[in-house]
Amino acid sequence: MRILITNDDGIYAPGLRELVRALAPLGEVTVIAPERQQSATGHGITLHKPLRMTPVQIDAPAAEAFATNGTPADCTILATADDRPPPDLVVAGINMGANLGEEVLYSGTASAAMEGALQGFKALAISVTAYESCIFGPAADFAAALARRMTDVGLPPDTFLNVNVPNLCTEDLGPAVLTRLGRRRYLNSLERREDPRGRSYYWFSGEPLESDAAEGTDISAVQAGLISVTPVHFDMNFRGVGGEFDALLDGLGS
Ligand code: MN
């Protein structure tokens, strides 16, 4: 099995190394990851500057490892650079910090996996629910078990798995459950500050406000200490009962 490992926390992030160590026994691991922090860069791709892949040594058993100046989605696209055969599996992570609800829209980790799904590769994104004192071991073991299972069990087209693992030791961690995305709105307080030259600048300091943490959501699962596995599809078409937009275009145009 050919496995591409990428992330958005950067090539030297500890979660990436743990993932490489856990997945290396399954096949040939190639790492292509951003050279620096790319969290919350979403699904951007690089069109207006050269993309570089610099071979690097990482302290983990990857066949090849490259740092790129691109985004997480670029990293997935670069998997087939120089006529490399396509990966059988793309795994993004292990991210420091949960990716729940609408965070998948901002997450570089989720976007790298989504790009994999769009390219026709099996893909999963995996995150632990903490930014400090992260416990990566159980998440890495789960990624390996899930990756093994995915060799036999396919995913529907254009779909990836968004996995969130509570930051707990193995003995405190519950089983894996299938979930849907909840809602994790941010109270986007935009802090205005002044630089030493007297010019103003802004800094996001939003706090998450969990507005849909109902049973069955990814948020409720991780709150209960369970591993949340959400199948995510790129289709953002409005799903309603029908007729919600009839009045919008009534009499407009010719
Ligand atoms: Mn990140």
Map out the domains of the chain as residue ranges. 2-183+213-237
Distance 94 CA to ligand 1 centre (A): 8
pLDDT band at 187 (very low <50, low <70, confident <90, very high): confident
pLDDT digits (tens, 9 = 90+) for 45-103: 999 999 999 999 999 999 999 999 999 999 999 999 999 999 999 999 999 999 999 99
Looking at domain 2-183+213-237, what is its CATH homologous superfamily? Survival protein SurE-like phosphatase/nucleotidase (3.40.1210.10)
Instruction: Locate 177 and state its tokens.
Output: 């459950």
Question: Of 218 and 63, which is predicted with more confidence?
Answer: 218
In angstroms, the Cα distances linking 29 to 26, 90, 125, 204, 216 are 8, 10, 16, 36, 33
Query: What's the confidence (pLDDT) of residue 210?
Result: 75
Distance 30 CA to ligand 1 centre (A): 19
Distance 240 CA to ligand 1 centre (A): 33
Distance 27 CA to ligand 1 centre (A): 25
64-78, 196-210, 217-231: least confident range: 196-210
Distance 58 CA to ligand 1 centre (A): 18
Query: What's the confidence (pLDDT) of residue 237?
Result: 94
